[in-house]
Structure formats: C-alpha cells, structure tokens
Structure 1
Amino acid sequence: MRDNIKISSSHWVLIIALLAAMFACYQLLEPYINSIILAFIISLLMFPLHEKIEQKLPTHKNISAFLSCIVLTVIIVIPLLFVLSAIVQQGSVLSQNIYDWVSHDGIQTAFKHPWVTNTLNWANHYLPFDAVSPQEIAQKLAKFASSFGTRLVGISAKILGDATNFLLDFFLMLFVLFFLLRDHDRILSILRHILPFSRSQEDRLFEEIEKVSKSAVMGSFLTALAQGIAGGIGMGITGFPMLFWGTMMAFASFIPVVGTALIWIPSAIYLFFTGDTSWAIFLAVWSIVVVGSIDNLLRPLLMQGSNGMNTLMIFFSLLGGLQLFGLIGLIYGPLIFAITTVLFNLYEEEFAHFLDNQDQS
C-alpha cells in the first residue's frame, strides 16, 4: 500500500469539487459515451497492429494513428456496405414473396393442415379464451398483408435512420480512436499517476480490463458471426434467402436464452405447414446440432479470458448488460463484473490483516 496521507479539510473541498466537475463532464459526454468506450476497447484490439505500423514510422505518430484508422475502416465499413446492399435486396424479395403467399390463399392452405386444425380445436376446447376460427386469423393476416407495403416503407425509413446514426457514431468512434492510438503511452502514464494503487496492482487492473474487453468482443461478436454463417447456410439449403436470414440469425444470437431459435423455429414451422416436412426437420436438426453447438462451445471458449468469472457470472453479466445498456451491454456487463472482481481481490490483499483478525475473533 502506498504511504498514508493525512487529508485536511481543504483536501476534502478539492476532492468534492473534483467529483462535481467530473460528474458535469460525464453529463456532457454521456450522449457519446458508447462511442468513446467502444473506441477504447477497439484501441486495445488494434494496438498490436498499430505498434507494427508505428515501428515503420517511429517519428510520425499522427500518420501511424491515421493509417490504423484507415485499416479499421477498410476492414469494417466497406464489407458492411456490401452486406447491407445484399440484405436490402434479399429482404425486398422476401417481403414480396410473403405478400404474394398471404394474398394468394397461402394462409388458407396452411390452416387446412390437420395439425393446425387439431391444435385450434384443442385450444378452443381447453383454453379459457374466446373461440378462434381459422377464417378470423386469415382475415387479420390478410389485412396485415394489405398494409405490408406501407409498413415496409416505414421500416425502411427507420433502418435508413439507424444506418445514418451508426455511421455518425462510427466516425465519432474513429475520431476518438485516432487520439487513443496516437497518445496511448501518455494516457496510460496519466492513469497510472492518478490511480492510488501500486504499480503491480495497476498492472493487474489494466491487464484484466484488456483481457475481458478482448474476450467479451471475441465471445459475443465472433460467436454471432459464426452462428450467422452456419445459420445462413442452413437457411440457404432449405430455400430461404441465405444472406438475409444469416444476418438475422447473427443479430438474434445476441439475445440470451432465446438466441437463434427466434429465427429458425418459425422458419421450420413454415416449411412444415407448406408441405416441406423433410426440409423442416433438416433445418431444425441443423440449427440445434450445428448452430446451437457453436453457442455452447465457442462462446465459453472465447470468454475464458475473464479470470475469476465462472459460466454463471458470464451469463448474468451478458443478460444484465443487455438489459441495462442494449447491445453494447454485451461488452459492458462482463467488463463491470471483471473490474469488480479485481477490486475485490485488491481489497482482500490490502486488508488481509484486518480480515484475518475478523475471522479469528
């Protein structure tokens, strides 16, 4: 532990004023905090590559940081634009196919299936609800289909707005990333100087933050990518637009508990009721065995970098992070748990003598 310092009343005034000023700064930065934190995490992932670029240009830190940002943009933005254009194209074809199926008695054919008839009869007989007839459901679905074009325009406008916000956030993140890469050593030395820990404790804290940040990104996003690819292959084999539904599966994989089942179960049901029973069984087996095993095996393997965090802690950190912060919470949750674990370990070391006396008393 560092030398004890006697804190006077003037020191307390300074500390309180500093905390108030820091809170005010947080209020100013709060709308952009996700971009800033994401830039910090990406800087940890990018730093090995940035170091190699910096070694080639040791006296040009600005150019090195700029080139690293260019590399990140090429890796993320350009492939993303191609994927988005393909998704829009396949999504429009899919929406048209759904509209045609609903408008041309596809619903009536599905409701004539014995399983559907028996299920509705059972529900009307045993469940405490008003009786539901296939005709009523068909009319409501047909009404939805008739307004589907209008809804699609609204959804497209929202997606366009979200894409615009994403690009703005991305370039803001890129701007912050430039300075984090360029001034990495200076920022680190300032943090080490301010934190009231020993050098070994600071090293442990920074190492854990770096480790958990990397494992959270790898565990969540690489698992989503792998499940999206595997799920897209399965959907493509059974006749669905591969890229569109593969992307939907990748997004669905971020949802704890439900995951990709949100996509493949309705798809398998649709295949079953349209007469493609063998393909429905294939899609269900493929999704459970191949896609599901990726989540069960790859995510825990990639997130093993979270020292002191067992599977239960990782699960609740992901679930709570998603609930509190949205998608970015898949990184925030494990990070908060890991930092808390490290701080508890530091507390246990610093107050070991006191805690031992407490145990013996």
Structure 2
Amino acid sequence: MIQHESIPSEDEEDARRKRLQRASTAVLYAVLVAVALWTVRTFIPAVVWAAVIAIALWPAFGWLERRPWLGKHHTVLAFVLTAAIGLLFVLPFVAVATEAGREAGDVLHWFQEVLRTGIPMPDWVNQLPAGARQIAKWWTDNLAMPLRSSPAVQKLHGANLVAMTRHFGGRVAHALIIFGFMLVALFFIFQAGSRLGEQLFAASRRAFGGEGAMVARRMADSVRSTVVGLVVVGLGEGALLGVAYAIAGVPHATLLGMLTAIAAMLPFCAPIVFLGSALWLLAQGSMVAAICVAAFGLVVVFVAEHFVRPVLIGGSARLPFLLVLFGILGGAETFGLLGLFIGPALMTILVVLWTDWVRR
C-alpha cells in the first residue's frame, strides 16, 4: 500500500505560526529587557535601595495616602517623605562630621606630638595575664620610639597613602551619587502611590498565577520585617550603650551611642565601637569601667542578636533562627549591604517552595 503524507491543515499552520510568533516575541522581550538592564546597570543599586525603603514604609505611606487632606496631594506627600528619609540618613553623618571637625585640631596636635616622641606604653600592658612580653616588645619596637622612624609607620609610603586616599574619595563620591539617585527613585515610587503596588502584584499574578503573587507578598513582608529588625535593634543597642558610655565616663557618649546604633544595624558590628571604648578606658587606667562597658555591651549584643532580632525578622516571614542568620550573613557576603535585605527574602522563597513541595 502506498502511504500518503498528511498535509497540515490551515488551522494547524496558523497555530504553529502563532506559537513561533509568541516564542520570537518572548525572545525579543528578553533581549530588550537585558539590554535595558545593562544600560542602567550603574543605577540598579539605587533603585533596589529605593524599593527596599519603600517596601518598609509602605504601610505607613498607605495610611497617610488614605487621609483626605493628604490623599489629594500625592506629590507633596512624596516629597515630604523623601526629604524626611534623606534627613534621617544625612543628619547622623553631619553630626559625626561636625564633631570630628571640632576635634580635628586636638587630633592633629596629638598626631604631630606622637610623630616626634612616640606613644608611651601604658602600664596595663605589663599586667596582662598572657602575652605581655610579646606585646611590650612590639610596642617598644614600633610605637614607643618617634613614629617618623618607626618601621610600622615607614610602611605607609606617600604614594600608598595618596592611592588609599584617592580610592576612599572615589568610593565616597560613588556612594553619594547612588544616594542621590536613590532619593529620586524613592520620590517617584511614592508619587506613583498604591497604584504601583497593585500593578506589581497584578503582574506577578498574571505571570506566575496566584502562587507567584503570594510569593511576592511574602518577599515584601520579609524585606519589611528585616528593615524593622535591623533598625529597631540598632537603635535599641545604641541607646543602651550610649547610657553605659555616659555612666562610665567615656567622652562624647552621645556621639558614640549614635555610632553604635549605626554599627548595630549591621549584624555583630556593634562590638567594634563598644570594645574600642572599653580599650580607651583601659588605656586611661579605668579597668573596672572598661570591664563593665565590655561586659554590658556583650550582654546587650548577645540578647539582641540571638533573641530580639530573629523574632522581629523571622516572625512575620515565619523563618527559623538559622535561616534568618544564614540569610543576613550570606546575603551581606554575596550582595553587600543590600544582601542584608535580599538574603532573608531569598530564604523566605526557600521556605515557601519547601512548604509547597511537602504539601503536594
């Protein structure tokens, strides 16, 4: 028997052509999105920072937006909120810079003096229970002599110092530019108002279904709880340790409390400030005050990092402590400061996917 090849019908040809067109359109869209993201890659961190801040403040913004006397003035409301956030970031650094400027003369005089005479070894070094001899020898060889001839200082050649200064200045300039564009992006997000959030969730639902919209909401909740956990815990640690500095007699206790609050917003960074203050007290001969500041700081950080912060961050997202810790630390290592918020959000997705897989 002779078999005849089936000829595709006109409907099948039309369906095949439509599938090919949809595939081509998807590839075109993907290429255009990739090119657009590559074009604006420098400003992506600013947009992501703006999105993180907007997500954290969205409930408060929604409440203000629903007020009759504010809802009619979206632009004014967006400008006021953006300006308030900008001042919230800028004022602490202005205070630190102002205080540093006041102390610059004394610091410069002290630096010139130690270049001429060196730094005398404090008496408490010889009283250390272990390593006193090694520390005393290193101090004598590197710091007790005039620092102009110290081996430790001679390693800082002029060219290296200039290169370090240029690198630091470049990083500061880049951070200021990103901060400026972040405020601009945040203003336009607030100006768009609740319509933007509704459009984003509608797009998630259309692209990924109801589960995609649910994952998007869980991610937003995770980012919001992470911001609250980092900021609230940081401010609490700064306030408590600021009181401890004042009682112990540490100079500029308010400024150090502010620095501690900023450092405490990053996990396990507060000890850099309060242990430095304890070392200063120890160098002044106040051993009891130094031990009290160090012990109190360690207790505050232990309670905050192991109990308060995991509850605030993992509570709404339903994340266990280990995933909260891995999300914060792993995210910071992978993505920098933005990873502090991206990491827990990714861990939330992991928990959602695992729960969905188990239920199936």
TM-score relative to the length of structure 2: 0.75
Q: 1:57 to 1:250 in 2, by over 3 A?
A: closer
Moved more, 201-210 or 111-120: 111-120
5+ long unaligned stretches in structure 2: 1-14
In 2: Cα distance, 1:112 partner to 1:182 partner? 59
Aligned residue in 1 for 2:304: 294
Partner SS for 2:22 = helix
**Are 1:180 and 2:185 an aligned pair?**
no
Larger radius of gyration: 2
Given that residues 278 and 290 in structure 2 are in contact (C-alpha distance below 8 angstroms), is that contact kept between their aligned partners in structure 1?
yes
Instruction: Report the alpha carbon displacement of residue 311 of structure 1 after superposing the two structures with TM.
Output: 0.7
**Are 1:8 and 2:19 an aligned pair?**
yes
Structure number with the bigger relative contact order (C-alpha 8 A, sep ≥ 6) is 1
**Are 1:30 and 2:41 an aligned pair?**
yes
Aligned residue in 1 for 2:179: 170
Of 326, 333, 338, which residue of structure 2 is paired with 1:328?
A: 338
Of 138, 145, 157, which residue of structure 1 is paired with 2:143?
A: 138
Instruction: Deviation per CA, 1:78-112: give whole Å up to 9, x if none.
Output: x3354234442366367458637846878434167
In 2: Cα distance, 1:154 partner to 1:105 partner? 27
Instruction: Deviation per CA, 1:250-270: give whole Å up to 9, x if none.
Output: 3443554x5322333344344
Aligned residue in 2 for 1:212: 222
Given that residues 119 and 145 in structure 2 are in contact (C-alpha distance below 8 angstroms), is that contact kept between their aligned partners in structure 1?
no
Instruction: Report the alpha carbon displacement of residue 238 of structure 1 after superposing the two structures with TM.
Output: 3.1
Q: 1:294 to 1:98 in 2, by over 3 A?
A: farther
Instruction: Report the alpha carbon displacement of residue 197 of structure 1 after superposing the two structures with TM.
Output: 3.2
- What is the percent sequence identity of the aligned residues? 20
In 1: Cα distance, 2:78 partner to 2:195 partner? 14
Q: Which letter does structure 2 place at the counterpart of 1:239?
A: V
Given that residues 222 and 348 in structure 2 are in contact (C-alpha distance below 8 angstroms), is that contact kept between their aligned partners in structure 1?
yes
TM-score relative to the length of structure 1: 0.75
RMSD: 3.9
Aligned residue in 1 for 2:50: 39
Instruction: Report the alpha carbon displacement of residue 314 of structure 1 after superposing the two structures with TM.
Output: 0.8
In 2: Cα distance, 1:76 partner to 1:254 partner? 13
**Are 1:108 and 2:120 an aligned pair?**
yes
In 1: Cα distance, 2:251 partner to 2:122 partner? 18
Q: 1:75 to 1:134 in 2, by over 3 A?
A: closer
Q: 1:50 to 1:112 in 2, by over 3 A?
A: closer
**Are 1:72 and 2:85 an aligned pair?**
yes
Given that residues 228 and 249 in structure 1 are in contact (C-alpha distance below 8 angstroms), is that contact kept between their aligned partners in structure 2?
yes
Given that residues 261 and 270 in structure 2 are in contact (C-alpha distance below 8 angstroms), is that contact kept between their aligned partners in structure 1?
yes
Given that residues 113 and 273 in structure 1 are in contact (C-alpha distance below 8 angstroms), is that contact kept between their aligned partners in structure 2?
no
In 1: Cα distance, 2:87 partner to 2:321 partner? 35
Instruction: Report the alpha carbon displacement of residue 334 of structure 1 after superposing the two structures with TM.
Output: 1.0
In 1: Cα distance, 2:103 partner to 2:358 partner? 55
In 2: Cα distance, 1:240 partner to 1:152 partner? 29
